Amino acid sequence: MTTRYTFPSLLLLILLFISCCLPAQGLRPYNPSNATNGILLGLGGSITVGSMLIDRKVVPMSELEVKGLDAANIWPVDRFSLRHLSFEADEFTDKLLLTGFAGPFFLMLDKTGRDNFDEMAMIVFQGALLNSALINLTKSTVKRARPYNYNPDAPLDLKLRKSSRYSFYSGHVATAAYFSFTTAQLYSDLHPNGKARPYIWAAAGMIPAAVAYGRMRAGKHFFTDVLIGFAAGTAIALTVPALHRAGGE
């Protein structure tokens, strides 16, 4: 299991290291406006505050509610997660997620990345804020029971926690997708003719895919949870840099 999870993360780190050692092109692809910054920061901040207020009203399921859950009501495509419970998989997805966090920093290894540090830092922060805000808002609003709530082998105390209602959608997958694809998009903008581009994009997709599989094996999320998480994180990763590109405001 360790090999399966660490391979894609190591692959992305190696590719990023190689790509950032390529000759710098001196590009300045980003020209963010105050309006763009204000809208993104305001939107992310507002959703964050709203999600916190909603989350305060979320209460854990009672033992009676847990016992009343019926696996027959779960869509067939989501039933894979019902028969899995792995604390090891849960731990490894936590570690694998750290790879995505580190990705953007590897873009600082060449001059082009360092020249665009201020703009890239703002892009990464704004996207991360918006990604986190949407995750928290959706979880606290939907309150979908996690797969392990249907598993008789899962500890009861785990099922009675507030977090057991935060299945939809997967924050791990959305965050892994966001940071991985943001790194790939930033690299593509900084190195439009870089030969490593297709490999970096392919590797960027492997990390959230591996996290998604691990979250299902851990019994933490259904397939639809990780699918939407993947899509949401990717959409934010592609949209925020586009809003900051020169001439694209």
- For 30-46, the pLDDT digits (tens) are 888 889 999 999 999 99
Task: Tell me, yes or no, whether 239 lies in a domain.
Answer: yes
H-run or E-run covering 93: helix 87-102
How far apart CA 53 and CA 45 sit, in angstroms, is 13
**Vertex 145, ends 142 and 147: CA angle to 5°?**
135
Task: Tell me, yes or no, whether 213 lies in a domain.
Answer: yes
Say which range, 11-25, 119-133, 162-176, has the weakest mean pLDDT: 11-25
How far apart CA 176 and CA 143 sit, in angstroms, is 22
- What is the percent of the chain with per-residue pLDDT over 90, rounded to a whole number? 70
How far apart CA 211 and CA 218 sit, in angstroms, is 10
Task: Tell me, yes or no, whether 147 lies in a domain.
Answer: yes
Task: Tell me, yes or no, whether 228 lies in a domain.
Answer: yes
Instruction: Supply the pTM of this predicted model.
Output: 0.85
Task: Tell me, yes or no, whether 219 lies in a domain.
Answer: yes
Say which range, 52-56, 204-208, 245-249, has the weakest mean pLDDT: 245-249
- Position 8 scores a pLDDT of 46
CB atoms within 10 A of CB 202: 14
User: Could you report the per-residue pLDDT of 47-91, keeping only the tens digit for each?
Assistant: 999 999 999 999 999 999 999 999 999 999 999 999 999 999 999
Task: Tell me, yes or no, whether 144 lies in a domain.
Answer: yes
* Contact residues for 195 (Cβ-Cβ < 8 A; gap 6+): 22
* Contact residues for 241 (Cβ-Cβ < 8 A; gap 6+): 30, 123, 127, 182, 185, 186, 189
Task: Tell me, yes or no, whether 157 lies in a domain.
Answer: yes
Determine the structural domain holding residue 164 and report its residue range. Answer: 80-249
Structural domains in the chain (count): 1
- What is the percent of the chain with per-residue pLDDT over 70, rounded to a whole number? 88
